[in-house]
DNA sequence: ACTGGCACTCAGAGTGGGTGAGTGCCAGAG
DNA sequence: CTCTGGCACTCACCCACTCTGAGTGCCAGT
């Protein structure tokens, strides 16, 4: 492994370089390091270490005689060797409490969370909706809308409400008929979790076919298909985003701004990226852990030039969905990682109890 | 009026300047104009006209000897004297049809519309949700959620579903009690439009007070307050946005990008701006008309440096809400105005029938 | 009212020397 | 073997300078 060659002190130098560069946005030279950090050695020694780091492709010089800048690989090693994630300040903890304290429902909690995280990190914050697989169906309703449409309303345990319209082929339906159908479907699915409800619904379909009068089979199928759709729908394919205004900090995103804006609008790219990253964090540590993806590592998503920090959060016992931030490669990893971790933990606790 | 002094031809010159500048993003000089447009006169004559235009503060020279650039006032006059709004191409009309043809419900229609408009204009598109004041209440439902919460679901004519949770002070409520309350409220409001439903609900409150058993008054009030809230809620305070990726075109938004991103995230600013503008367009013409707000005119909203084109669209007979685009001052007003108008008209027709 | 001509202006591109931060390397000390 | 001080060297950047050409303003002539 290449990193074996870098000594204790070289690593410290790398940390110094990353730290200074993140703070000042200017290539940092050996002299600067010596006078800003209390290494016990002279600039020449630092230079030797820097030569080594450059050999390992951890830092690079923009032009022949100027200070050094971390490479993507350098940031990566920096993050991996980040020993103590600086804990949040008291003020920040208080902000979390205040912000998330009294959320009305799940949607509200997530909206607040993502805004908070954006504010805390000064980056673009992203949170994925939880999957709700283990959430109970609390109520289901069918309402005739117009003459050939039926609105299916599904209410879940966490207070989430989903609605979708089933269009029927011309035939009129009576209030009573809709009511009867509703009773049967409700009887089958209410009280079960979504996964079980899908099963129950599939079984029910057969008996519904018998219940249906002459010529009604098609109507019944249309409605039950919509209900099935709703039960199966993957809620975790949506994300909430906040802090897009942070993208305008000039010079940060050199040429990647278009890609980032597009990703925000597309959502699906971010979804994949954050999901992947949260999974990685989960697999690695024994505990819920934060993972980062830096620069070129994001190339498959067209987001080279950016860095992403993500982790999963727990909901109904499952660490189903991801939360994190997206920013320029040159970001303050230490505090951002701390913020993502803290917010994810708080969120896990908060939405469990509601 | 100052504009009286500008002759027919000077105005044509202004149009040429705006047109060329929008196309090339470079100050345009007298010579360029002569060779690109078939004026029957020499460059010197054009220069005289330009001197006049500069006198009127319609164009300005970035530096002493270079071509001219339209001022905000120049753009304004240009837009006001835009005679024939170029009609959309056949391909564009076809795109509108294809895009909006089969929308599922109101939300879907609006989402498609705004994306279409963004694509058509290459700008940021904004559409405000309609107010629904005249929309009928089709169904109302109360569902006990947990032990001390009641979920109120409101279903409106257009297929819009609103939900909100009422928290009760500790006391348990029975299914039957909730059901009874639901029957009464539904009886009062279902079938009325939102405005009338609010009235009915207020009247109902009194009789509900009697109906309520000992100690239940508070519970009833909590629930009916939430229902009232939902009936009164102004749905038109939400907007949908698309095309944010268009902001990244470099050089377009010189220094205003932060303000724009912030406005997009805040929404309330855009809401006011677009609402104001749509109203202006409505008041001016005899027919639904498109209005523009250019550069400094947007200063109250912190959006100097941008131009906004907006109009209203009709829903349930009312021209309640606005639709339009936001872009740099240097934009193609002719085609963008055409696009906004066409999409607004199509939308007015489309969501009426669903 | 329009035109051709002419002097004038000035941004931007190109040039060249000076400056200094920063490097690489080496010989010597601990 | 590690660290240090010293020294030559390299460029990016800054500044001052010149040159060029697009474009203007004005004026006398048609």
Contacts of A51 by beta carbon, 8 Å cutoff, 6+ apart = none
Q: Which CA distances in Å does A194 have to A187, B143, B150, B327? A: 14, 18, 21, 45
Whole-number Å distance between alpha carbons of B177 and B143: 11
Q: CB A283: neighbour CB atoms within 10 A?
A: 9
Chain A residues interacting with chain B (CB cutoff of 8 angstroms): 104-105, 138-139, 141, 143, 145, 149, 151, 153, 155, 157, 159, 161, 163, 165, 242-245, 247-248, 257-258, 261-262, 264-265
Query: Which ranges constitute the DSSP H helices of A124-232?
Result: 175-189, 194-211, 217-232
Q: Which residue minimizes Cα–C1' distance to C4?
A: B44
The pLDDT tens digits for B122-178 are 999 999 998 888 888 988 988 777 677 788 888 887 778 888 888 887 666 787 888
pLDDT at residue number B3: 47
Shortest CA distance from A105: residue in chain B: B165
The pLDDT tens digits for A261-303 are 999 998 999 999 999 999 888 777 656 689 999 999 999 999 9
Give the bridge partners for A151, in sequence order.
A143, A165
Mean pLDDT, chain A, whole residue set: 87
CB B113 within 8 A of CB B343: yes
Q: What is the DSSP string of A255-305?
A: S-HHHHHHHHHH-HHHHHHHHHHHHHHHHHSSS---EEEEGGGGGGGT-TT
> Which of A155, A156, A302 is the best mutation test for B, with the most CBs of B within 10 A?
A155
CB A311 within 8 A of CB A291: yes
Average pLDDT estimate for B211-234: 85
Please tell me whether residue B14 adopts helix, strand or coil conformation: helix
Whether residue B262 and residue A245 make contact (CB cut-off 8 A), yes or no, is yes
In 3D space, the residue among B307, B242, B244 whose CA is nearest the CA of residue A244 turns out to be B244
Whole-number Å distance between alpha carbons of A179 and B96: 39
Q: Which CA distances in Å does A253 have to A248, A250, A329, A330, B42? A: 8, 7, 9, 9, 47
Distance in angstroms, CA of A46 to C1' of D20? 49
The pLDDT tens digits for B316-331 are 777 778 999 999 999 9
> Which of A103, A261, A262, A354 is the best mutation test for B, with the most CBs of B within 10 A?
A261
Q: Which residue has the tokens 């939900």?
A: B163
Whole-number Å distance between alpha carbons of B281 and B259: 25
Q: Which residue minimizes Cα–C1' distance to D5?
A: A44
Chain D bases closer than 7 angstroms to a protein Cβ: 3-6, 9-12, 21-27
- Chain-centroid distance, C-alpha B51: 38
Shortest CA distance from B261: residue in chain A: A245
Whether residue B105 and residue A257 make contact (CB cut-off 8 A), yes or no, is no
Q: Residue B353's pLDDT band (boundaries 50, 70, 90)?
A: low
Report the DSSP pairing between strands A318-328 and A306-315.
antiparallel
Torsional sign, CA B248, B252, B256, B262: negative
Q: Residue B352's pLDDT band (boundaries 50, 70, 90)?
A: low
pLDDT at residue number A38: 85
Whole-number Å distance between alpha carbons of A324 and A124: 9
Enter the tokens of residue A63: 């032009």
Report the DSSP pairing between strands A69-70 and A59-60.
antiparallel
pLDDT at residue number B288: 64
pLDDT at residue number A226: 92
pLDDT at residue number A113: 93
Q: Which among A104, A248, A265 has CB closest to B165?
A: A104
Residue A190 burial (C-beta neighbours within 10 Å; 0-12, 13-18, 19+): middle
Whether residue A165 and residue B159 make contact (CB cut-off 8 A), yes or no, is yes
Instruction: Tell me which chain B residues have a C-beta less than 8 angstroms from the C-beta of A153.
Output: 141, 153, 155, 161
Measured distance between the N- and C-terminal CA atoms of chain A, rounded to whole angstroms? 48
| Parts of chain A with a pLDDT under 50 | 1-3, 354
Q: How close does chain B come to A175, measured CA to CA in Å?
A: 12
Q: Which residue has the tokens 């409101």?
A: B154
CB A249 within 8 A of CB A277: no
Q: Which among B138, B143, B242 has CB closest to A155?
A: B143
* Confidence (pTM): 0.86
Q: CB B236: neighbour CB atoms within 10 A?
A: 18
The pLDDT tens digits for B337-347 are 999 999 998 88
Q: Residue B2's pLDDT band (boundaries 50, 70, 90)?
A: very low
Quick one: residue A317, left, alpha or beta (phi over 0 = left, psi -120 to 50 = alpha)? Answer: left
Q: Which among A138, A163, A244 has CB closest to B145?
A: A138
- Number of helical (H) and strand (E) elements in chain A, helices listed first: 12, 10
Say which residue, B213 or B307, is predicted with more confidence.
B307
Whether residue A257 and residue B248 make contact (CB cut-off 8 A), yes or no, is yes
């Amino acid at each position: 492994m290449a990193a074996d060659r870098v000594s204790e002190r070289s690593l410290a130098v790398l940390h110094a370089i990353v730290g200074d560069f993140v703070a000042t946005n200017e290539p940092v030279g050996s002299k600067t390091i010596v006078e800003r950090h209390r290494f016990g050695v002279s600039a020449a020694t630092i230079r030797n270490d820097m030569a080594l780091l450059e050999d390992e492709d951890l830092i690079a010089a923009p032009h022949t005689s100027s200070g050094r800048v971390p490479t993507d690989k350098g940031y990566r090693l920096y993050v991996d060797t980040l020993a103590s994630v600086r804990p949040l300040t008291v003020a920040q903890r208080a902000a979390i409490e205040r912000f998330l304290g009294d959320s009305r429902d799940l949607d509200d909690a997530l909206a607040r969370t993502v805004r908070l995280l954006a504010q805390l990190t000064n980056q673009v914050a992203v949170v994925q909706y939880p999957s709700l697989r283990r959430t109970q169906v609390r109520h289901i309703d069918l309402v005739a809308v117009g003459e050939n449409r039926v609105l299916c309303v599904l209410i879940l345990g966490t207070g989430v409400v989903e609605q979708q319209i089933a269009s029927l082929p011309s035939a009129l339906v009576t209030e009573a008929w809709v009511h009867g159908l509703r009773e049967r479907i409700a009887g089958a699915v209410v009280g079960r979790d979504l996964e079980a409800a899908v099963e129950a619904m599939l079984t029910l379909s057969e008996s519904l076919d018998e219940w249906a009068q002459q010529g009604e089979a098609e109507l019944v199928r249309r409605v039950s298909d919509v209900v099935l759709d709703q039960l199966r729908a993957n809620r975790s394919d949506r994300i909430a985003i906040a802090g897009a205004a942070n993208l305008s900090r000039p010079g940060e995103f050199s040429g990647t701004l278009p890609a980032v804006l597009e990703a925000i609008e597309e959502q699906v790219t971010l979804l994949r990226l954050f999901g992947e990253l949260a999974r990685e964090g989960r697999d690695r540590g024994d505990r819920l852990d934060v993972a980062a993806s830096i620069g070129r590592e994001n190339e498959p998503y067209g987001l080279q030039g950016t860095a992403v920090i993500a982790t999963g959060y727990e909901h109904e016992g499952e660490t189903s969905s991801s939360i994190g931030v997206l920013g320029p490669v040159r970001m303050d990893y230490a505090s951002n990682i701390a913020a993502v971790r803290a917010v994810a933990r708080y969120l896990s606790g908060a939405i469990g109890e509601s």
